[in-house]
Amino acid sequence: MQEITVQELKEKLDSGEDFQLIDVREDFEYETSNIGGLLIPLGGIIIEADKISKDKPVVVMCRSGKRSAAAIMQLEQMGYTNLANLKGGILAWAAEIDPDIVVY
């Protein structure tokens, strides 16, 4: 499984690179803290897979990296080959990029 660090994600965001960010946490988690990704909770990832691009890079994130890895495994079985897991999730983002973001 391809992984991306929070530093690499920040570079993509800062440079305006064309990619999609998918957040697979639950609604309440997303409301607590997010970095602007499209919210598709893990339980609905297969049902809402049509919202996920196959034509450009996609970064999948969650709280720590475990749920996003599970989402990627499910999506890869559907033929996706353009996915990267955000290593460490929002916890790593808070620790390394934005210490003001709320973590739980």
Supply the residues annotated as catalytic: 62
Quote the CA–CA distance of 94 and 2 in Å, as a whole number.
Answer: 21
CA distance 45 to 35: 19
Three-class DSSP category at 74? helix
Name residue 86's amino acid.
L
DSSP state of 31: H
